[in-house]
A and B are shown apart, each in its own frame.
Chain A
Amino acid sequence: MDGAHDMGGAPWSGPVQAEPNEPPFHAEWERRAFAITLAMGMPGGWNIDMSRFAREDRPAQDYLSKSYYEIWLAAVERLMLERHLIERDEIAAGRSLRQAKPVARILKLDDVAAMLHRGRPTEREANCPARYAVGDHVRAKVMHPPTHTRLPRYVRGHRGTIARVIGFHVFPDSNASGAGEAPQWLYNVTFNGTELWGKDCDPGLEISVDAWESYLEPA
């Protein structure tokens, strides 16, 4: 979807401000919100693309005014509310007011290390040949789906070159909507800075994105 999360090249950004010796978290609630988000993936049954969509699918003002973990919190609440794992009145009351919905499994203490170590690999066995090869010229399609996509706006319509055929990976646009993994070939595609930003751009700048096959057309 087109939204405030798609920030590449946005002109209003200002300087990058690093915090010396920054801790992983800045408040106790950030720790808990982070852990709840990681732990609820198992009983909740959603995937990472659904989580990303729940974070980005909000008005620009909301996205831009919330801190990072405020967005995580809002997204995990939304995912749980959508599935009726909890209800709003329960958050307000601070206690469970209904019986729990049955869930497949929950993350127990003893499973944490294995769950983190396993991760969630997204590469799948290919069921078709790759359409593009290294060196091929391609154009990122012009598209504005209202749903989740991982093709940033700043490359749409621009011509690039296949730098690497990465593999056959779960397609987020499909996976985010619950329509299945629908894996596709994934490529690393490079763009010249001048192609994206015009002649005043540093001529030595090259930018790459990872793009699924259906994001691309021959050029």
Chain B
Amino acid sequence: MTNPPHDHHDHSHSELSGTELRVRALETVLTEKGYVDPAALDLLIETYETKVGPRNGARVVARAWVDPAYRARLLTDATPAIAELGFAGRQGEHIVAVENTIDVHNMVVCTLCSCYPWPVLGLPPVWYKSAPYRAKAVKDPRGVLADFGFELPKGTKIRVWDSTSEIRYFVLPMRPKGAEGWSEERLAEIVTRDSMIGTGLPKVPHEAA
């Protein structure tokens, strides 16, 4: 699939306004027929623009880093463990957390569409839904990591999780060195979205400090 509209070349302006008009027309028809409540549409958008996003997942990771009992619950059955922090629901009905270690690095993809754990990460970024990522992640994950500008040691095994069912996978990254004694809130600040997909690592503590 193509990049977002602003990346299209010149002819996209007319396409864009065509699509814009079409969506407006559609919403008007649906509203007149009483199939949608525009205020409900506004709330859906607001929810995923302001409430549900990767800061949720970062809180889960930070809690797992400081609380071994929570970490154990998260790795055993992630859905209720994540719900303890208030995150649950659509596109996260059945969540599995997979843990990065010195030996194994996990990466999550959906080669068939765009499955992604919404309650902890929000809506997926364009690259996650794009052809390059969906094509490459299962065949050349090291190439994907190179595209993201980092490299894993040669001996590290890579485990790629293709989200083909309603199970949503979520990576628990390793706690970086240099953040000993940090509070949970401070740790959450260094947990990046990409580190929970497996295409990145948490921020280096001395850079985040």
Of A36, A152, A205, which one neighbours B112 at CB under 8 angstroms?
Answer: A152
B47 touches A112 (CB 8 A): yes
Count contacts between A and B, CB distance < 8 Å: 283
Contact, CB under 8 Å: A29 / B20? yes
Of B55-63, B68-76, B135-143, B182-190, the segment with at least 4 beta carbons within 8 Å of chain A is: B135-143
A64, A96, A196 — most chain B CB neighbours (10 Å) = A96
Q: Is the CB of B33 within 8 A of A77?
A: no
Given contacts A36-B41, A109-B43, A206-B159, contact A90 B93 (CB under 8 A): no
Closest chain-A Cβ to B43's Cβ sits at a distance in Å of 5
- The contact of A122 among B28, B89, B157, B166, by CB within 8 Å, is B166
A199 at the interface (CB under 8 A from B): no
Residues of A contacting B41 in the complex (Cβ-Cβ under 8 angstroms): 32, 35-36, 39
Instruction: Report the interface size class on chain B.
Output: 35 or more
Report chain A residues within 8 Å CB of B23.
29, 32-33, 36, 73
A82 at the interface (CB under 8 A from B): no
Q: In angstroms, how far is the closest chain A Cβ from the Cβ of B146? A: 9
Please tell me if A144 contacts chain B, counting CB pairs below 8 Å.
no
What distance in Å separates the Cβ of B171 from its nearest Cβ neighbour in chain A? 13
Q: Which of A193-214 contact B (CB under 8 A)?
A: 193, 196-197, 201-202, 204-212
* Structural contact, B160 and A207, CB atoms closer than 8 A: yes
CB atoms of B24 and A150 under 8 A apart? no
> How far is A33 from B21 in the complex, measured between Cα atoms in Å?
12
Q: Are A22 and B125 in contact (CB-based, < 8 A)?
A: yes
Can you add 15 more A-B contacts, CB < 8 Å, to A15-B132, A121-B94, A167-B94?
A: A8-B138, A8-B139, A16-B132, A16-B136, A16-B147, A18-B125, A23-B49, A85-B35, A86-B26, A91-B29, A94-B28, A112-B47, A117-B88, A190-B159, A204-B155
Give 12 pairs: A residue, B residue, CB < 8 Å, sorted on A. Answer: A7-B135, A17-B132, A18-B148, A19-B126, A25-B49, A86-B26, A91-B29, A94-B28, A152-B164, A202-B142, A205-B158, A210-B165
A-B complex: 9 closest residue pairs judged by Cβ atoms: A8-B111, A210-B165, A94-B25, A13-B135, A100-B33, A35-B41, A10-B135, A96-B32, A26-B4
Instruction: Name B residues whose Cβ lies closer than 8 Å to a Cβ of A.
Output: 1-6, 16, 19-30, 32-37, 39-45, 47-49, 53, 88-94, 111-114, 122-123, 125-127, 129-139, 141-142, 144, 147-148, 155-167, 194, 199
